[in-house]
Amino acid sequence: MDGSIAADYVGLDYAPPYLAPTTNGAQLLQGVNYASGAGGILDESGAQWLSHPDHFASPYIPLNILDLLSLSAQIQRLTNTTIELEEILGAAQKKSFLAEPLFLISLGTNDYVYNYTLANSSMKAEYPDA
């Protein structure tokens, strides 16, 4: 594995992270990255990392569950961005601006492996034969 992620193959510059203090105003017009390490489609995805023995040994693992942005949390941030864009551009220009956006959704193993294999997973309870 060479460390590449799906976005590396699209050929565009990296969009700034939504949570960066400098991602506001005109910067939003260049794109926004809502990604979150250890997050997933399910709100509970990534929670297993909080009790992982190496949790505090890695700077890449969030400190608490509030730092894990599930897909629903990322979509809420997209909604916030569209409100900010309307404040910057106005309603008509915002609609035109958002007419042809590029959305890249890349999923890792958290939803597929951990949520089905953990004994206390809600997915395990809902789909016991999966």
How far apart CA 16 and CA 103 sit, in angstroms, is 14
Neighbours of 113 (CB within 10 A): 11
Strand-pairing partners, residue 17, are 33
Note the pLDDT tens digit of each residue in 57-77: 555 544 555 567 888 888 999
CA nearest to 36, candidates 55, 64, 8: 64
Note the pLDDT tens digit of each residue in 8-56: 787 777 888 888 889 999 999 989 998 877 777 877 776 666 555 554 4
In this prediction the pTM is 0.73
Where are any strands of DSSP class E within the chain?
Answer: none
Q: Cβ(108)–Cβ(114) under 8 Å?
A: no
- H or E segment and range at residue 82: helix 71-89
